[in-house]
Amino acid sequence: MRFIEISRLNRAGAADESAARTAVKQAVGARKAANPTRFRPGLSTDLLDAAREMKINLSREFEHHLEDVVRKNRAEQWLKDNREAIDAYNQFVEEHGIWNEEFRQW
């Protein structure tokens, strides 16, 4: 692919191959910058090497961890959003007891 793009640029009037390579790198860089789904976390090379040696699937591990973080944050947000109702219910139970208290056998 690169050879074809460089050849095409050379035919289009690029003065030399290094200029063509520079143009291709700029075009590829612009395409990568325009792709918001591409994510490259800054990880230490030692950590990445260790993960490769252990044959750890980084994408799968990242996705599982991210699911856990999102689930935890949603639960915390739900608790914040519903704190007033929870407190009101607890206050009601303290004052009036549980509705089925007389039927409980434990």
Task: Report the pLDDT value the prediction gives residue 42, as an integer from 0 to 100.
Answer: 76
- Tens of pLDDT, residues 35-62: 555 656 677 888 888 999 999 999 999 9
The model's pTM: 0.51
Nearest to 10 by CA among 1, 20, 18, 23: 20
Task: Report the pLDDT value the prediction gives residue 44, as an integer from 0 to 100.
Answer: 85
- The rounded average pLDDT for each run of 10 residues, N- to C-terminus, in the chain (106 residues) is 50 60 69 58 83 93 96 98 97 90 80
Determine the Cα–Cα distance for residues 20 and 13; give it in Å rounded to an integer.
9
Which DSSP state fits 37?
T
Determine the Cα–Cα distance for residues 22 and 60; give it in Å rounded to an integer.
35
Residue spans of the domains in the chain: they are: 57-106
